[in-house]
Structure formats: C-alpha cells, structure tokens
Amino acid sequence: AQSVTQLGSHVSVSEGALVLLRCNYSSSVPPYLFWYVQYPNQGLQLLLKYTSAATLVKGINGFEAEFKKSETSFHLTKPSAHMSDAAEYFCAVTEGGNNRLAFGKGNQVVVIP
Amino acid sequence: NAGVTQTPKFQVLKTGQSMTLQCAQDMNHEYMSWYRQDPGMGLRLIHYSVGAGITDQGEVPNGYNVSRSTTEDFPLRLLSAAPSQTSVYFCASSYSANANYGYTFGSGTRLTVV
C-alpha cells in the first residue's frame, strides 16, 4: 500500500511566486515525516522533518511545512521561488518497524524566469 | 567527515554479469539501506540492515543480495544483471532505529545494463 502520495510529477512555478508541493500520507500511528531535495546528479538532502514537536516546521533555504493530522497532510511551501530551487522534491514517512522510510514519487520543480 | 561514500559512480554491465556496489559510512550509523530510483517511481527500498550481521528485504529485493559484516560497510550485489536493473542506486544510513534522525544519502551509482 502506498504510504505517501505526491500529486503532479512536474510542477512549474515562476520566479518569485509561491512554491506549494502537496504530500498526503497514510499511517495508523503518529508518523515521522520528512521532505528531501535532490539537485541534478546528486544524492538526497534533508530539507526538514516533523517528529511530533511543532506542527509548523521550518527547514533550509526558506522552506517550511505544516503537519495537519486531520488532513493527513504535510505540504511543503516557500513564499518566493528562486532559480536555485529547481530540483526534485520527495516526501517521506516512517513505515512499519525498523526505521524504514517510504518515499513518494517526487515532484520535479521547474522555475520559470 | 566523508559521510556516506558510494562507488563506483557510473557502471555499464552486460546482461548476466555480476557486480558489487559499494557503500561505506564513517558516522558509526547502525542503520543502512539501499534504494533504487527510477523515473516516476520515486525511491524504492531494496534491502536494509539494522546492524552488523542483520539484514532484511525491502520492497524490491529480487535479483539483489546484501550482507553486513561491519558497521561501516553495506555492499549490494547483483548476481546476474538484467536490463530491468538499469537504475540509479542510493545508499542511505541513519544513526539509530529512531527515525527522528532522518537519513544521510550517498551521491548514488548510475548503473546501465545492456
């Protein structure tokens, strides 16, 4: 069963506009949630994580995400897109035991000048 | 501090050949795992290990073997490569079974099987 759903494989945003990437999860227990970013030809870097503390989580490079239990969501936002934000973004959730992370299919973000 | 090191970065194999993808970490992480990344599929877990001598299967284990003889190393073996194994492979490690720490990823191995 898919634990993480990311809609829209490709997302285009104008430079200076809001970046909004949606992530919904399915979990029977309170999850740990993560957003990772992958720049071209590189590995994944942790953007931010939710681990049952504050529901609004701030990460690197001006990104933030809000955990909403009632909506089973963990959407990622950035108020103003920059050209350097062009990358692929993955939402991930803890799954089962043994520290396994399940990843969504990713959003490829293109920033239009 | 090197983090997670994967070798090689690129590899081309012929169908039926075998090879080992290397992964090493210098952070004394107990948890290590292998993922493959394919377009539109995200990252799928192949195998993982919660400590030396302990391994388990992930979502897509067929055609791959692993072992964990030391804390530092977690090699991934392709026994008889197939074109369907053309992919980018990532190794990841974590401090402990507590997912609070997230994962540290290597830079990946791009494998092509012809």
| Cβ(B63)–Cβ(B76) below 8 Å | no
**A5: how many CB neighbours lie within 10 A of its CB?**
15
Q: Under a CB-based contact definition with an 8 Å cutoff, are residues B36 and B84 in contact?
A: no
Buried b or exposed e, range B52-74, using 16+ CB within 10 angstroms:
beebeebebbeebebebeebbeb
Report the pLDDT value the prediction gives residue B2, as an integer from 0 to 100. Answer: 73
- Per DSSP, A30 falls in state P
| A51 contacts in chain B (CB < 8 Å) | 99-100
User: In this complex, do B42 and A105 lie within 8 Å of one another by their Cβ atoms?
Assistant: yes
Cα-Cα end-to-end distance for chain A? 39
Q: Closest partner residue to B103 among A6, A101, A106, by Cβ?
A: A101
Contact A42, A90 (CB under 8 A): no
**Mean model confidence pLDDT for chain B:** 92
Segment B68-76 mean pLDDT: 97
Chain B residue at shortest CA distance from A42: B107
| HSE-CB for B16 with a 13 A CA cutoff | 0
Chain A residue at shortest CA distance from B94: A99
What is the tens place of the pLDDT at every residue in A50-98? 887 788 999 999 999 999 988 999 999 999 999 999 999 999 988 766 5
